[in-house]
């Protein structure tokens, strides 16, 4: 039982370390929801990205503690660098998807400039 309480304490520490980022993402989520009526598609994609980023932070705070125990028990799982490499690869791949979704929100519903690129000259 002591191990579970230590794990929960470690998860809490990991989440508290990310608290400024998580609060910022939460504020951004609220802003995108408030702007929903004005820009529905953009707000929906942005809100989806912010929710995904929040969940990413919370889930992987716990995953780095409990997934190694699930695979290796309470033994020495620090000696498995390939496992941590794979977990980091999955973590960063999902983070990249969340950022790509956020970037998509920036460019969705944009009108093309008439005639392509415009060059303004001062006369």
* pLDDT value for 4: 78
**CA pair distance 72, 90, nearest whole angstrom:** 18
Phi, psi of 13 (to 5 degrees): -65, -40
Question: Tens digits of per-residue pLDDT, 47-89?
Answer: 999 999 999 999 999 998 888 877 776 656 566 788 888 889 9
Only one residue has tokens 């998509």, namely 104
Instruction: Report the pLDDT value the prediction gives residue 114, as an integer from 0 to 100.
Output: 64
pLDDT of residue 66: 84
- For residue 85, what are the CA distances in angstroms to 20, 33, 60, 61, 107? 26, 36, 14, 16, 33
Token code pair at residue 16: 């508290």
pTM: predicted TM-score of the whole model, two decimal places: 0.79
Give the per-residue pLDDT at 84.
85
**Environment class of residue 28 by beta-carbon count within 10 Å: exposed (0-12), middle (13-18) or buried (19+)?**
middle
What's the pLDDT tens digit per position in 20-33? 999 999 999 999 99
Question: In this predicted structure, what is the pLDDT of residue 6?
Answer: 84
- How far apart are the C-alpha atoms of 64 and 79, rounded to whole Å? 15
Residue 117 DSSP symbol: S
Is the pLDDT confidence value at 1 over 70?
no
Higher pLDDT, 74 or 108: 108
């Amino acid at each position: 039982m002591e191990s579970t309480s230590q794990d929960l304490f470690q998860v809490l520490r990991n989440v508290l370390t990310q608290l400024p980022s998580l609060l910022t993402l939460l504020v951004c989520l609220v802003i995108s929801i408030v702007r929903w009526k004005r820009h529905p598609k953009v707000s929906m994609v942005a809100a989806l990205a912010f929710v995904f980023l929040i969940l990413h932070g919370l889930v992987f705070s716990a995953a780095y503690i409990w997934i190694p125990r699930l695979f290796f028990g309470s033994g020495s799982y620090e000696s498995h660098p390939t496992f941590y490499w794979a977990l980091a690869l999955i973590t960063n791949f999902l983070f990249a998807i969340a950022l790509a979704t956020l970037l998509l929100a920036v460019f969705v519903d944009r009108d093309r400039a008439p005639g392509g690129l415009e060059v303004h000259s001062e006369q």
